[in-house]
Structure 1
Amino acid sequence: MKKLLSTLFFGLTLASIFFASCNKDNFDYAAWEREQLEKQRIQDSINNKRVEEQFPIIKKYVADNQLQNVQYIDSLGLAYQLLATGDEASYSYSFNSNGAIIAPDATVKYIGKLVPSGTIFQQTEEGKTATLNLSQVITAWQIAFLPKSISYNGKDIPTGGLTSKGLKKGSKIRIITPSPWAYGDTGKQGSSSSDVSIPAKSPLDFTIEVVDIKNK
């Protein structure tokens, strides 16, 4: 999943690396490709292990907090509640000339909590919003925002999104994700004195309200 989303938003990344590398003398593309595939295999194995470890924790968290109408995505080990669908006509995803999805800017209000403690580690201030480009957010947010598929050249291209329409202006979602789709095995230090650090291998609980979504 993480690889798929990265490919969609950054379709030129590997190609750029390849062509840049080809300018070097005696570049062994086959060896480089094998190395990348092995790195991905190792990361996929780690991700699968973390999902298996953390999915039961997420299910217990949902039960302990008595959350209703929760949907589970077993393959990703996450849970979500779609709290408001929003205005479906407010935004449509498109592709650039290279076939990569154009990542919009999303203006949001959000709360992030640690699982299973429920401790708030970060949130937008009362009456304020945050604007983020979707190419620069964690995978869990990309999964939440994207629709299940996007039409391209007359074909529906699967994106790995949660809902059929994706998040639009006025949408609200709660997503409880295992660490592979958040901050992985490294965690994250708080960005300000008011933020709580995210421990390594920590599942997270986000509530995201979309105030606006548009291209730059």
Structure 2
Amino acid sequence: MKNFRLLIIALLGVISITSCMKNDTIDDGWDYAKEKARYDSTMNKQKPILAAYAAENYSDNRYYNDSVGMYLDILTPATDESYEYVLQGSSFISPQITVKYKGKLLLTGEVFEDATGTAQQFYLNPNSNINVTQAWIRAFLPRNVTINGTDILYGLVPNGIKKGTKFKFIAPSPIVYDNRERKDNSGKVIVPKDSPVEYEVEVIDIKNI
């Protein structure tokens, strides 16, 4: 229950890594039980799909986070390990990342976003000028976080993703675009609702500003 509540908070746009909620309703009209049931159902349906894809397309050294159903595979190791993720209170300081990346739909292989030609720079938080999903945040941040003596499974790679790393990851829809469609500037749907996705990412730089 604590892990799910953490995820719901993060999905609502908060990076805060806290496991405390005083009641089951985050906002008026928001049905926690109904939302949890929908989340669990979607995750359970997509879990075997992601597992089969990872088994066929990811190395034996792949990373996995069971709490959010993500897989991550390192294609090229970091060239600079000096960056340190900074935990301030119960939140990480959002690093500024410069990346090249490509996103595709897991079920069809169709590319819905291609930023491999020109590096993109943004902050690794949901309020960035680029639509940063929870899957991206979890892909980068360290695997284990300890707050007030409590260990929390959060990211995938033990010390987090560093400069120079090339990697790919797959994520179920609830931590990407969930049950919402993503459209391009012309209004065309490029990510249907409930779509698991895969991203390939090259980290050009990562730093705190």
TM-score by length of 1: 0.74
Question: Which of 6, 12, 28 is the equivalent residue of 1:4?
Answer: 6
The reply on whether 1:146 has 2:146 as its aligned counterpart is no
Consecutive unaligned residues in structure 2, runs of 5 or more:
127-131
Shift in Å at residue 123 of structure 1?
A: 1.4
Equivalent pair of 2:63/2:157 in contact (CA under 8 Å)? no
Give the structure with the higher percent helix: 1
The residue matched to 2:167 in structure 1 has which SS?
A: strand
Consecutive unaligned residues in structure 1, runs of 5 or more:
16-29
Cα 1:132–1:156, aligned 2, differ >3 Å: closer, same or farther? farther
Take 2:103 and 2:110, find their aligned partners in 1: how far apart are those partners?
A: 8
Cα 1:156–1:94, aligned 2, differ >3 Å: closer, same or farther? farther
Cα deviations by residue, 1:24-81 (Å, 9 ceiling, x for unpaired) = xxxxxx8xx45328644433322211111112222333456x4433444444233221
Shift in Å at residue 9 of structure 1?
A: 2.4
Give the structure with the higher percent strand: 2
Question: Which of 112, 118, 122 is the equivalent residue of 1:132?
Answer: 122
Question: Which residue of structure 2 aligns with residue 18 of structure 1?
Answer: none
Q: Among the aligned pairs, what percent are the same residue? A: 30
The reply on whether 1:105 has 2:66 as its aligned counterpart is no
Equivalent pair of 2:64/2:156 in contact (CA under 8 Å)? no
The residue matched to 1:9 in structure 2 has which SS?
A: coil
Shift in Å at residue 94 of structure 1?
A: 1.6
Question: Which of 168, 175, 178 is the equivalent residue of 2:172?
Answer: 178
Shift in Å at residue 165 of structure 1?
A: 0.8
Amino acid at match of 1:110: Y
Aligned-residue RMSD, C-alpha: 3.3
Take 2:160 and 2:80, find their aligned partners in 1: how far apart are those partners?
A: 9
Shift in Å at residue 2 of structure 1?
A: 6.8
- The higher radius of gyration belongs to 1
Shift in Å at residue 142 of structure 1?
A: 1.0
Take 2:80 and 2:31, find their aligned partners in 1: how far apart are those partners?
A: 39
Query: 4+ residue stretches of structure 1 with deviation over 4 A?
Result: 150-153
Shift in Å at residue 204 of structure 1?
A: 0.2
Shift in Å at residue 197 of structure 1?
A: 1.1
TM-score by length of 2: 0.77
The residue matched to 1:165 in structure 2 has which SS?
A: coil
- Give the count of matched residue pairs: 194
Cα deviations by residue, 1:108-151 (Å, 9 ceiling, x for unpaired) = 1111000111111001142x101121112111111110112346
